[in-house]
Structure 1
Amino acid sequence: MASMRTLPKEFTVRRRDPVLVTPSEPTPQETKPLSDLDDGEGMRFYSSGIHLYRHNPAKAGQDPAQVIREALARALVPYYPLAGRLRETENRKLVVDCGGQGVLFAEADADLTADDFGDVQSPPFPCFERFILHSTTVAGVEPVVDRPLLYIQVTRLRCGGFIFGQRFCHCVVDAPGGMQFEKAVCEIACGADKPSVTPSWGREMFMAGDPPARPRYPHLEYREPAGGPDPDRMLTTPASEMARAPFFFGPREIAGLRQRAQARRCSRFELVAACIWRSRTAALGYAPGDEVRLCFIVNARGRPDDVPLPEGFYGNAFAYSVAATAAGELCGKDLGYALDLVKKAKSAVTYDYLRSVADLMVLEGRPLFTLTRTYLVSDVSHAGFKSVDFGWGEAVYGGPAKGGEGPLLGVTNYFSRAKNGKGEEGTVVPICLPKDAMDKFQLEVQGLTAEL
């Protein structure tokens, strides 16, 4: 397991009243529909990210909050839909009213230094809730309709560094799309007249047919798994009875996994995902006949098939793909069995699959993906979060602000790139499990990663 760092028990963050930042120039006043991938129930939330920066002597006397705020206003000109508001129309269809209403921005000061955060390499970021800006909740839920689509907080640190915290409405951007916008802000903050990549809306490529076609794939991600009536303990265990620990998969661990993969060609992500899924299932003690699932995000960007993404597209361009089997089969067979299921599920996502998801969304009321006996993972290893540079240099930490919280606690996870104490690069996975399952999980992982 990797080590974790805690902040001082008492520290102060002084946040000023948030203000609306609007596009610096007039923008089109129009209504733009989201795609049928954008407006599913599973997208109707805000995704949080944090970037931590050290002091840069070359930027002495410059206020990062002011620099970013001015660059933000200019970046919102080509990205003007992000300054709009969502509206729900017939059949729960979401559209963006582009009226230049603005995004919410707050500046703050904290009596901390960048060093106080230690070598944080994976979510959750320490005390993340102090460094991101929230909106008002309704009955414990944060609505996305008629709210700003982006919330930003810039927190100056005592050492001269700062924290950039953002919350994007997932309906309008996915992780690569959000990164595209953040890098546009960075380019302008560093002196560019305009972003190097011209944004493209392009949502029509992921619209359902008219009329929608019958889905052409099983889409297990929206179907309840087979198995016994007992509730999934991952959805019923209180947060106070959960344990968190980051697990590091470096050269030694990957070598052990590759030995057990028996010469199968596979990626690092596929290896680690298969290991985590099998170990987690064994640790949770599901009944042998219960169907268990690994659900992961497969992005259409950069895939060698027929997804016609225009350059500059910043909407949602991914699907949830599912590997499924009985718990007894998964834990009773070798790692290669789990790995083959992961590889098959990953290769299933094509443009036709994405269009089938769009049809399902319209036909079935834009459902939420199922969570029962399901482990949902997202690989952000290559997202480039640390490369977000507002002129102060590369981020010390860049990535998701938090792991799964609330009903998603321990059910969702992010895979990140990191270095261990020896300077070795690897994959770090923050694990959250019931306390009585964590030791069993660690033993399972150790058994699969030990070199033969």
Structure 2
Amino acid sequence: MLAITFKGSYTTVKPWDPTWNGTMALSELDQLGCLTYVPSIYLYRSPQNSTAATIAETLEDSLSKVLVPFYPLAGRLQWIGNGRLQLQCNAMGARFIEAECESSLNDIGDDLSLSRLHGNLYPSVDFSLPIHELPLFLVQLTTFRCGGFSIGTALSHAVADGTAALHFMSEWARVTRGEALKTPPFLNRSVFRAGEPPLGLSPPPTLDEYPEYGNPVLLIGQSDALEEKKKKTTTAMLKITKAQLEKLRKMANESCEKPMARGFTRYETICGHVWRIACKARGHKREQQAVIAVCIDSRNRMTPELPREYFGTATFDVIAQSLAGDLMSKPLGFAASKVRETIEKVTDKYIKSLIEFLKNLEDLTEYIDNDTVLGKEDGPFYGNPSVTAVSWLTLPTHGFDFGWGKEQYMGPGPSEDDGNFFLIQSPEGEGSVVVAMCLQEAYMDEFKRLFYQDMP
């Protein structure tokens, strides 16, 4: 781990002006990830004519200002029973931490392959505290020897998903540069009927329609998943060039058994490729059931569409299943078509029915995505033999200029969840894609070898 020295106590940053005070209901989609914090890291070279003290002061002031329109981030969560929470908009503020690192920025590297080194560069969340005391947004400013600094963030998934989080970061950077807010957040959670009772559909949606919430696949060799979850994981950043991606899509399209109205997207193609390779690298038996969980953004799938600036959690997982033997023996087009079928089933009707299904659950505790905090033994099905895909391909993941130039690197914080992978656009903007893959250490070398070997 990097040697990090923290500068005294943290600072609580409250909104610059008075904000609305009251209780905000959370939607069922907010509830599913309510105990998860999404970490991100931004690395910057040494700015001219700025010291660590002036950078910290500038960031704190601008954060205070941007928390006015984004006031839910300054609030706190509160349990209301049955595994559900609500948001108290009380302006208690975000947490700002200053730290120093004895290493230079060059020691960090420009990717997350050294994820265990990066772990100290974003703020940790003390889950031993009562939930109503936990800040929903935490920032850590780390300055390096010989200059350079990083901004590490941790943002509650109950308040914002990836799209909303990057919207906030973009506006915070804009305000820090001295510019006016460009796009205020859309804070109305009533689009998901947050806080309202079930509609009473007849017949009511059942678990058979939403296997994502039934833990359909046990982790390899374990009835309770605990032993598998204890195994060490590592993260690798695997770049797919534009030329490689075009060839991979061509291979998927030409090997698809079913006629298609349009070719596979890069997301469908890469998901299918990673799914197949994970089965091979893990040495699955042919009869093993394998799963890929695909994270879906519902903003453009609802009628009418949600505003892009909807500030909340509008994402959820859907799963595709297959026998590992079919994935490994059949061509890429088979896996990619399974991913497409899963994505295409998510319609406006599907989303609203899912909300109804979740509202009908008496207790959401077993479906909340943080089994460590809740002391659960099973939790989600993620891990071997499953993989989980999150795409940032259409999100503004680069160009976060806080007034000291654009970042040298930006990416998700290191994951320790076996099988999780992010798809990120290359910062060079030349059409390549980076796959940030987290896998058990025992399988990573074989995964990296096959990842490129199986490309055309």
Q: Contact 2:291/2:320 (CA < 8 Å) preserved in 1?
A: yes
> Counterpart of 2:389 in structure 1: which amino acid?
V
Deviation at 1:13? 2.9
Q: Is 1:341 aligned with 2:338?
A: yes
Looking at structure 2, the residues matched to 198 and 299 of structure 1 have their Cα atoms a distance apart, in angstroms, of 20
Matches of 2:159 and 2:16, distance apart in 1: 21
Cα distance in structure 1, aligned partners of 2:106 and 2:244: 29
8 Å CA contact retained: 1:234, 1:411: no
Q: CA deviation at 1:87?
A: 0.9
Matched residue SS, 2:139: strand
| Distance in 2 (alpha carbons) for counterparts of 1:132 and 1:419 | 21
Given that 2:23 and 2:87 are in contact with CA atoms closer than 8 Å, whether structure 1 keeps it comes out as yes
| Structure 1 residues without counterparts, runs of 5 or longer | 1-8
Following superposition, the deviation at residue 145 of structure 1 comes to 4.0
What is the Cα deviation at residue 161 of structure 1? 2.6
Which whole-Å CA distance do the structure 2 matches of 1:97 and 1:134 have between them? 22
SS in 2 for 1:157: strand
Q: Which whole-Å deviations, capped at 9, do the CAs of 1:101-127 have from their partners, x for residues lacking one?
A: 11111122323333332322x466562
Compared CA separation, residues 279 and 211, structure 1 to 2 (3 A): same
- Give the structure 1 partner of residue 395 of structure 2: 383
Q: CA deviation at 1:295?
A: 0.5
Q: Paired residue for 2:182, among 192, 196, 200? A: 196
- Whether 1:102 aligns to 2:93 is yes
Matching residue within 210, 217, 228 for 2:198: 210
- Say yes or no: does 1:318 pair with 2:315: yes
Q: Is the Cα–Cα contact under 8 Å of residues 2 and 120 in structure 2 kept in the other structure?
A: no
| Range with greater deviation from structure 2 (434-443 or 264-273) | 434-443
Q: Cα 1:84–1:259, aligned 2, differ >3 Å: closer, same or farther?
A: closer
Q: Give the total of aligned pairs.
A: 429
Of 175, 178, 183, the residue aligned with 2:165 is 178
**How far apart in 2 are the matches of 1:433 and 1:92?**
30
Q: Paired residue for 1:415, among 420, 423, 429?
A: 423
**Of 220, 242, 255, which aligns to 2:211?**
220
The answer for the alignment partner of 1:370 in structure 2 is: 381
Equivalent AA in structure 2 for residue 391 of structure 1: G
CA contact (8 A) 2:233 2:439 kept: yes
Mapped partners of 1:241, 1:35: distance in 2: 34
> Which residue in 2 is equivalent to 1:448?
454
Give the TM-score normalised by the residue count of structure 1. 0.85
- The aligned residue for residue 353 of structure 1 is 350
Alignment partner of 1:157 is 2:157: no
Q: Assess if the C-alpha contact under 8 Å between 1:246 and 1:430 holds in 2.
A: yes
Does residue 1:72 correspond to 2:59, yes or no? no
Q: Which residue matches 2:12?
A: 20
Alignment partner, residue 260 of structure 2: none
Residues 393 and 423 in structure 2, CA contact (< 8 A), matched pair in contact too: yes
**CA–CA distance in structure 2, aligned partners of residues 246 and 229 of structure 1:** 25
Match 2:29 to one of 28, 33, 37: 37
Partner of 1:91: 82
SS of 1:386's equivalent? Answer: coil
Partner of 2:276: 278
**Alignment CA distance shift 1:100-1:431 (3 Å):** closer
Q: Secondary structure at the match of 2:454?
A: helix
Partner of 2:198: helix, strand, or coil? coil
What SS is found at the alignment partner of 1:195? coil
User: Is 1:306 the counterpart of 2:303 in the alignment?
Assistant: yes
Between 122-131 and 224-233, the greater mean CA deviation after superposition: 224-233
Moved more, 255-264 or 374-383: 255-264
Distance change (3 Å), C-alpha of 1:314 and 1:329 = same
Q: Deviations over 1:246-289 (max 9, x none)?
A: 32221343244234214460121211110110111122233322
Instruction: Please tell me the residue identity of whatever aligns with 1:269.
Output: Y
CA distance in 2, matches of 1:229, 1:418: 33
Take 1:226 and 1:81, find their aligned partners in 2: how far apart are those partners?
A: 36
Q: Which moved more, 1:333-342 or 1:212-221?
A: 212-221
Matches for 1:98-177 after TM superposition, within 5 Å:
98-120=89-111, 122=112, 125=115, 127-138=117-128, 144-177=131-164
CA change 1:153–1:444 in 2 (3 A) is closer
Q: Distance in 2 between matches of 1:88 and 1:164?
A: 30
8 Å CA contact 2:252, 2:336 repeated in 1: yes
**Counterparts of 2:138 and 2:235, CA distance in 1:** 28
- Could you say which residue in structure 2 is the equivalent of 1:6? none
2:421 is paired with a residue of what secondary structure? strand
Question: What TM-score, normalized to structure 2?
Answer: 0.84
Identity of aligned residues (%): 25
Residue equivalent to 1:4: none
Cα distance change on mapping 1:10 and 1:165 into 2, 3 Å:
closer
- Are residues 347 and 165 of structure 1, via their aligned partners in 2, closer, same or farther at CA, if it must alter by over 3 Å? same
1:268 aligns with 266
Q: Matched residue of 1:387: which SS?
A: coil
Secondary structure, counterpart of 1:388 in structure 2: coil
Given residue 159 of structure 2, which amino acid in structure 1 is its aligned partner?
Answer: V
Change (3 A) 1:186 1:376: same
The Cα shift of 1:22 comes to: 0.8
The 3 A distance-change label for structure 1 pair 331 and 307 is farther
Report the Cα distance in structure 1 between the residues aligned to 2:410 and 2:130, rounded to whole angstroms.
Answer: 26
C-alpha distance in 2, partners of 1:308/1:245? 35
Find the counterpart in structure 2 of residue 3 from structure 1. none
The one-letter code of the counterpart of 2:297 is N
Change (3 A) 1:113 1:291: same
Q: Is the 8 A contact 1:321 1:348 kept in 2?
A: no
Cα offset, 1:436, TM superposition: 4.5
Q: CA deviation at 1:71?
A: 0.5
CA distance in 1, matches of 2:231, 2:75: 39
Contact kept in structure 2, 1:227 and 1:289, CA below 8 Å: no
Q: Match for residue 45 of structure 2? A: 54
